[in-house]
Amino acid sequence: MQTQTFPTTFDQVAIQDGGAKLEIRNVTKIFRRGRQSNMAVDDVSLKLSPNEFSCIVGPSGCGKSTLLNIAAGLVKATSGEILVDGDVVPGPGADRGMVFQNYTLFPWLSVAKNIAFGLSLKGMPKHEQQERVAHYLDIVGLSDYAKAYPKELSGGMKQRVAIARALANDPEVLLMDEPFGALDSQTKEQLQEFFHDLWEKTQITVFMITHDVEEAIFLSQRVHVMDKQGKLRETVEIGLPARRDLEMKLTPEFLDYKRHIVHSLR
């Protein structure tokens, strides 16, 4: 695996060195079905520094979803381990919040109660929960929908609530599995911009997978390219300005990154 850095003159958000927030160490996953075995993830190692935003791009079926599920503790790796703040984690927990591609709001809870779900599991006092919920409802711009049920929301609104629910729980790392994949292209771009602003404000560590190369470049500081064999092929440092807007997707620098990654995927 090689690391590619483009020369850049832009002012960037520096990735902090030192202790990794999330570390994936020599993770391999082999699915066995009868006599056939399929290597989904092949000895992948990577680190996320605090406040880092990294993406994995790869063709569909390349095992990137499996890798994220292993990082979340939802799928057991055949070998290798996951570390949060230097400690090996044995299973899923609130330290690794997750946003899924499909809408995973609990339909029996109102928007506010969905956001409060993790908080009430922790036993946080009610008034503190309400404050946090109000804060995150405000951040995702859905304060008017606090009492609505998920079935009354559009797809984009549901994903905003899912993001708010994950963030309100104050995770060490936010894992995202194609969170904007099910949305139409306009809503998708709106949410990308929204999420970029949100990351700037909260400076949370984000590990996201997507098959959308543009989305990966637009949002992240590092893009890891995964190939069909489940190996990390290369890591591209994205030297775009810290502050990003959708217009940037049309600049020559952006397109250079895109061309490079698209070629790398072939």
Q: Which of 159, 15, 145, 45 is nearest to 101 (CA)?
A: 159
Tell me which residue has tokens 């055949």: 78
Nearer to another protein by C-beta: 96 or 244?
Answer: 96
Per DSSP, 240 falls in state -
| Contact window for another protein (CB under 8 A) among 6-14, 35-43, 76-84, 145-153 | 145-153
Residue 183 binds to another protein (criterion: CB under 8 A): no
The rounded distance, in Å, linking the Cα atoms of 80 and 45 is 9
Pairing between β-strand 2-5 and β-strand 232-237 as defined by DSSP bridges: parallel
Pair 24, 82: CB distance under 8 Å:
yes
Query: Can you tell me which of 93, 141, 203, 242 binds another protein, judged by CB under 8 A?
Result: 93
Distance of closest approach, residue 241 Cβ to another protein, in angstroms: 32
Footprint (CB under 8 A) of another protein, residues 101-140: 102, 104, 106-109, 117-118, 121-122
The rounded distance, in Å, linking the Cα atoms of 105 and 18 is 36
Distance of closest approach, residue 168 Cβ to another protein, in angstroms: 9
| Contact window for another protein (CB under 8 A) among 31-39, 168-176, 216-224, 239-247 | 168-176
Distance of closest approach, residue 95 Cβ to another protein, in angstroms: 8
Cα 133-207-32 angle, rounded to 5 deg = 115
Buried residues in 115-145 as b, exposed as e (16+ CB within 10 A):
bbebbeeeebeeeebeebbeebbebbebeeb
Footprint (CB under 8 A) of another protein, residues 52-71: 69
The rounded distance, in Å, linking the Cα atoms of 198 and 99 is 15
Residue 96 binds to another protein (criterion: CB under 8 A): yes
Size of the site for another protein (CB under 8 A): 31
Distance of closest approach, residue 26 Cβ to another protein, in angstroms: 23
The residues that touch another protein, with contacts defined as CB under 8 A, are 69, 72-74, 91-94, 96-98, 100, 102, 104, 106-109, 117-118, 121-122, 149-151, 162, 165-166, 169, 171, 175
